A and B are shown apart, each in its own frame.
Chain A
């Protein structure tokens, strides 16, 4: 009786998850494997003939297998490594900014003050914008010729001539980091806020009795309780940082020079500007490997460690 029930539960469960897993298998697993295959072939988009998998009327070209040549070619290109270091800087800076700013905003919004409800409801607005719009909006602020910020600074007499924010690769890259942070930090704030509100008031009361000031309470009560959320925010920001493409598209197109070219932009350009799908998918697959690594870290740090509590 008992075993039959357990069996049927498993079967029912699979019925429930089957449509989703099937769909994900079709739209994620299959393209993922096919892209992996492409990264080992000499893809010629113009050639319709050659080896292929045929499923009825559907004919999926397989192209010529060339082993790891795409990878060796891609990895031999100094641009790849430059882009990689740049990506790591971008991700690091973005994660730091998004976490710190997100946390600071959460601290402020966790206090009671007039206007808090309004601020809280507006909090998510930057996050809900398409990054295309985010980019446009910041062009309007930072532009050398007509940007509002330059206009204000000039008018206030704080600068003699307009600041060219996208002039140096270094400053352009940091502008990208900050703009992306503006877009993403609200989500971190949201998570932190939810975490802060789940901390019992008793803990604070106890700390206060012990004579702990605001900063000590923050350090000894708030932060430890938020540890899982800090990890979550870090990991989400890391992955988002690796993937960012659209802001680069509207703001810098990878320039000046290659100074804002990240791995994802490098892979995107190779695949869809020069139509070299072989090397392109190879580049994107190294990015995927990085993301997989992050997943393992995520799993180790967040799930494995905190699931027992939840």
Chain B
């Protein structure tokens, strides 16, 4: 015991000294031409493993750092504006076109091997990968996702509910019953978090599932003219008013934070990005709903949900284009024919993929079977609906400011028609 303690203190001191001397400002940069790589925080340990693997196997000099999701894009813009060059960067769809317009990132069409990758991509993903005018590909896919409905099977069974809700009315009905019977305080967990991956994708999904559009063909916001959007919003007001949701979802700062609440088993229904079902239903060490006590059901309404892809992009000012591109292909494509990172993301995190051939791989089929009904998931994918409005220069600011307006609708501090008009007016003020 004493020995343990002494060893512990000794190593603490050493590690502290090493960290100060090693990680501090004094260490000279040894790598002569490193590729700087930044991403938002999603399983940063896994990304670090990929980078280590790449540096070892492909003789790379990649330096990776992760930036918190909530502030990722502004932080990366600050870094670019301060003159720093990060060669390879994650970029979400809401910001990608603006980054391209402003000259932060470059088109990839002229780079070796890009044409092949274009052929391998699913058509919808390829369309999303292109710039607004459709002439250039500006990113390689990191992952694709869509919103799905998940349910807590034991809880529904306990309450005598035989099948998960097929319509929104049914879902509200179930939740009302569960609350009344004191099975759950807050049976429904919608992904209304404060970040770019929360409230607005949920808003688009529920609007789509009501058969409504949010943007017209010219990418103008028409949410205020669509009865389906209004229906969705009235439902949101109701579940909020009736206390069927955990109200603090509104101040969560990420979808990951939000989905962890579902681990507790205290909720009946959850809507979130598909890959979160993997930790919920597949990680017994974390989630009370694993293994496979949480399941997915087809999205209510007409089954359509919002589908989107996030990207790897290359800095327009990079001084190591060849090395950077090689690394980007390692991440977002098949370097030397190997889909290593794309496949690993499917296996490790359940991230869905822009390259359909991934789903023919037996290892992947087997892995998905452990946490989801893959057939149903692919079915849901067919009903995924993408938007093009994200390519408009005003989109990221609209997307970010719209959150507060939608939150006001949810909380009933503004009426549905008034709030939806504000969404349209906001777009006009930015365009």
Contact = CB atoms under 8 A, between A and B. Distances in A.
A255 B261 contact: no
A167 B250 contact: yes
Classify the secondary structure of A's interface with B. Answer: loop
Interface in B249-278: 250-251, 253, 261, 264
Contact of B408 (A145, A257, A275): A257
Contacts of A166: 248, 250-251
A15 interface: no
A273 B411 CA distance: 25
A275 B77 contact: yes
Nearest to A166: B251
Contact of B407 (A144, A145, A257, A274): A257
Contacts, number: 63
Contacts of A168: 411
Interface string A249-276: 0001111111101000000000011110
Nearest to B81: A45
A164 B407 contact: no
Nearest to B192: A256
Contacts of B70: 253
A240 B251 CA distance: 25
Contact of B247 (A164, A252, A272): A164
Contact of B246 (A164, A253, A256): A164
Interface in A148-168: 161-162, 164, 166-168
A118 B70 CA distance: 41
Interface in B352-377: none
A195 interface: no
Contact of B397 (A145, A259, A274): A274
A76 to B, nearest CB: 10
A46 interface: yes
A249 to B, nearest CB: 9
A253 B194 contact: yes
Classify the secondary structure of B's interface with A. Answer: helix
Interface string A109-151: 0000000000000000000000000000000000111000000
A255 B246 CA distance: 15
B400 interface: yes
Nearest to B266: A145
Contacts of B411: 168-169, 256-257
A23 B413 CA distance: 49
A261 B403 CA distance: 13
A288 B360 CA distance: 62
A195 to B, nearest CB: 40
A252 B251 contact: yes
B78 A272 contact: yes
Contacts of A255: 194, 250-251, 403-404, 407
Nearest to A164: B247
Contacts of A275: 74, 77, 81
B158 interface: no
Interface string A161-185: 1101011110010000000000000
A166 B404 CA distance: 15
B282 to A, nearest CB: 22
Interface residues of B, number: 26
B237 to A, nearest CB: 13
Contacts of A172: 251
Interface string B386-413: 0000000000010010011101100101
B2 interface: no
B74 A167 contact: no
Interface in B99-113: 102-103
Interface in B215-249: 246-248
B185 interface: yes
Nearest to B193: A255
B251 A256 contact: yes
A273 B77 CA distance: 9
Contacts of B253: 253
Contacts of B103: 46
B251 A169 contact: no
A15 B70 CA distance: 49
B81 A169 contact: no
Contact of A258 (B247, B251, B397, B404): B404
A252 B407 CA distance: 13
A162 B185 CA distance: 9
A164 B194 CA distance: 16
A256 B397 CA distance: 18
A167 B397 contact: no
Contacts of B102: 46
A257 B413 contact: yes
Interface in B51-90: 70, 74, 77-78, 81
A164 B248 contact: yes
Contacts of B408: 257-258
A257 B412 CA distance: 11
Nearest to B101: A46
Given A161-B185, A253-B70, A145 B250 contact: no
A119 B411 CA distance: 43
B81 A256 contact: no
Nearest to B195: A253
Given A45-B81, A253-B194, A273 B247 contact: no
Contacts of A169: 411, 413
A144 B74 contact: no
B369 to A, nearest CB: 31
A143 B397 CA distance: 29
A273 B246 contact: no
Contact of B248 (A167, A254, A258, A273): A167
Contacts of A254: 404
Nearest to B71: A273
A256 B400 contact: no
A265 to B, nearest CB: 12
Contacts of B264: 145
A261 B103 CA distance: 32
Interface string A13-46: 0000000000000000000000000000000011
A297 B261 CA distance: 49
Interface of A: 45-46, 143-145, 161-162, 164, 166-169, 172, 252-259, 261, 272-275
5 contacts: A144-B247, A255-B194, A258-B408, A259-B413, A274-B400
Give the top 5 A-B pairs by smallest Cβ distance, nearest first: A167-B247, A257-B407, A144-B248, A256-B250, A164-B247
Given A253-B253, A257-B413, A261-B404, 9 more contacts: A46-B103, A144-B246, A144-B247, A144-B248, A166-B248, A255-B250, A255-B404, A257-B250, A275-B74
